Amino acid sequence: MTINKVTADTDTGAMLQQRFRETRRRTEWLCRHLETEDFVVQPVVDVSPPKWHLGHTTWFFETFVLMSHQPGYRLFHEDFSFVFNSYYEHAGKRVLRTDRGNLSRPTVAEVFRYRAYVDEGMEQLLSGQSLPTEVATLIELGIHHEEQHQELLAADIKYILGNNPLFPAIAVLSQSVEAKEEKPDGPEWISVPEGVYEIGFAGNGFCFDNELNRHKVYLGAYQLCNALVTNGEFLEFIAADGYGHFAHWLSDGWGWVKANNIQAPAYWHKVEGQWHYYTFNGLESVAPDAPLCHISFYEADAFARWRGRRLPTEAEWEAAAGKFNWGRRWEWTNSAYLPYPGFAAAPGAVGEYNGKFMINQMVLRGASDATPPGHSRPSYRNFYPPWMRLAFAGVRLAE
């Protein structure tokens, strides 16, 4: 991947070292209350065991930084590249994704030793003089990669515990922000005039390759709501039997609803006639003023149609991103995840980072309660298949 060249120059080695340490520390902090058993399981193929996230983010630094740029570095364990590779075909045969949850070994303790070992190697590299730009760029990428996994880790822990019949409460985020209510001052519609806008990353600092090539787009006039859709609004959709009427749904979405018998957002359960949901605090009553979360694109789209609105495109979102608050939910857009004009993947394994996923996925914009601090910007492009509900994703309406 071609990350923004300016990045590595402005970050001095010391700043990079500081950010490396903080990022590595925060990953482990997210797991601070997990039991050993919680690190191991993989209830569905799209969830990875926490110990895998811990190992994989470490493997990234070992493989792409230490192995190539730290002379004399010795692998912690030669089988780990097999165990902790995710999808980098360049880097050799990988454990099938469905097999991750079958592996009791390496143990959690061993994975933490692996982290410490690689951290030590990285410290030596970062403490050295004159870090080449190319290496700094890779480390920068590794930090952002690990930040991405922090959000996935939070989502996967939630799935693991939220699908356990005992519904354990566990502090993952510093407070259970995900369910926090927030009365908007009154939703308002932001008008954006017709015109040519510029989209894509601008300025200094890091960005992923999929944000590069700032370019012009023509947008007709449109309106965006300044508030996210709330649970209360979605309860109205459920009450109106929104899940039962095909006319609100895309054809594939309707098939998905029927095949999976979907009746509410993920983690919602009806207990004695009242809707509850699993949060990191355990099972709670659904908070009507909290922003809706854990819905698929299909549900976001159906809800918008039922309300007589629509989802924004990613260009509409980005062009207006300075005019409203965002950051509590990733926001589904009606844009497919496709390359920007002039997009080209970098040669080698890091080139597999983003580009090869540009099919069969929809773009989400913004950030969420689980996004690490500093890991968001208006040009950031997140993406998921339209049926995925693991992410802390919600809805902002457009028209």
Residue numbers of the site for a second copy (CB under 8 A)?
35-43, 79, 82-83, 87, 89-90, 95, 99, 101-108, 160-161, 163-166, 168, 196, 215-218, 220, 246-247, 249-254, 297-298, 301, 334-336, 338-339, 341-342, 356-360, 362, 386
The neighbour count for residue 170, using CB atoms within 10 Å, is 18
Q: Which residue's CB is nearer to a second copy, number 4 or number 42?
A: 42
What is the closest distance, in whole angstroms, from the C-beta atom of residue 295 to a second copy in the complex?
15
Q: Which residue's CB is nearer to a second copy, number 203 or number 347?
A: 347
Q: Which residue's CB is nearer to a second copy, number 186 or number 342?
A: 342
What is the closest distance, in whole angstroms, from the C-beta atom of residue 163 to a second copy in the complex?
7
Q: Are 224 and 190 in contact (CB under 8 A)?
A: yes
Q: Which residue's CB is nearer to a second copy, number 200 or number 366?
A: 200
Q: Which residue's CB is nearer to a second copy, number 102 or number 127?
A: 102
Q: Distance between CA 7 and CA 219 in Å, rounded?
A: 31
Q: Which residue has the tokens 């993920």?
A: 266
What is the closest distance, in whole angstroms, from the C-beta atom of residue 361 to a second copy in the complex?
9
What is the closest distance, in whole angstroms, from the C-beta atom of residue 203 to a second copy in the complex?
21
Alpha-carbon distances, residue 85 vs 119, 150, 319 (angstroms): 18, 17, 37
How far does Cα 242 stand from its chain's mean position? 27
What is the closest distance, in whole angstroms, from the C-beta atom of residue 21 to a second copy in the complex?
28
Report the alpha-carbon angle 175-180-186, nearest 5: 150
- Closest C-alpha to 302, from 252, 231, 267, 365: 252
Token pair for residue 72? 């004399």
Q: Which residue's CB is nearer to a second copy, number 277 or number 297?
A: 297
The neighbour count for residue 362, using CB atoms within 10 Å, is 23
Q: Which residue's CB is nearer to a second copy, number 160 or number 264?
A: 160
Alpha-carbon distances, residue 143 vs 21, 50, 139, 207 (angstroms): 9, 18, 6, 12
DSSP H helices, the chain, are 6-10, 13-30, 50-60, 67-69, 80-84, 108-127, 133-162, 231-239, 251-260, 297-306, 314-320
What is the closest distance, in whole angstroms, from the C-beta atom of residue 234 to a second copy in the complex?
20
- Closest C-alpha to 319, from 205, 175, 218, 213: 218
What is the closest distance, in whole angstroms, from the C-beta atom of residue 344 to a second copy in the complex?
9
Q: Distance between CA 274 and CA 278 in Å, rounded?
A: 13
Q: Distance between CA 83 and CA 114 in Å, rounded?
A: 13
What is the closest distance, in whole angstroms, from the C-beta atom of residue 345 to a second copy in the complex?
9
Q: Are 373 and 173 in contact (CB under 8 A)?
A: no
Q: Which residue's CB is nearer to a second copy, number 116 or number 344?
A: 344
What is the closest distance, in whole angstroms, from the C-beta atom of residue 329 to a second copy in the complex?
21
Q: Distance between CA 213 and CA 343 in Å, rounded?
A: 7
Q: Which residue's CB is nearer to a second copy, number 235 or number 336?
A: 336
